[in-house]
Amino acid sequence: MPIEIGQPAPEFTLNNQFGAPVSLADYRAKKNVVLMFYPKAFTGTCTGELNDLTQDHLDSDDTVVLAVSTDTDATLKAFAAAEGIDFQLLSDHWPHGAVAMAYDAFLPERGFATRATYVIDKDGIVRWSVVNSPGEARSTQDYKAALAAL
């Protein structure tokens, strides 16, 4: 079932690239969340998008970026170190793609998430989203505009 604008975002807890658990609830009443699903670490389009997010400094006092893939946390740790990614990468590796499925972002025939992004406000409500195919990059300028509208 697609995630609708104005509905509560599905809760989750996933390990970040350092193996520490991160929950959506950790940011309730504290920060807006840019929840970004991407197919795979170390691939061209994914690397470009995550580098753009690092350069655009979306992770701030008011907003946290949580980038989710089905890669293992060890892979994500190596990816973040290699690319200088300065925000949290979350592993949806096991149960494989369960959070991506909850956000209608999992491609079962491919075994990974598509390019889906959700802007979630401090109350845990989805306020903006975009879903692109695995080969179609997203624009961080769109994220900035969605955050500015909150």
Instruction: Assess whether 145 carries a catalytic annotation.
Output: no
CB under 8 Å, gap of 24 or more: what pairs does 71-79 form?
Answer: 71/40, 71/41, 73/15, 73/16, 73/17, 73/18, 73/19, 75/41, 75/42, 76/16, 76/17, 76/41, 77/17, 77/18, 78/41, 79/17, 79/41, 79/42
| The one catalytic residue among 14, 34, 46, 64 | 46
Which residues are designated catalytic? Answer: 46
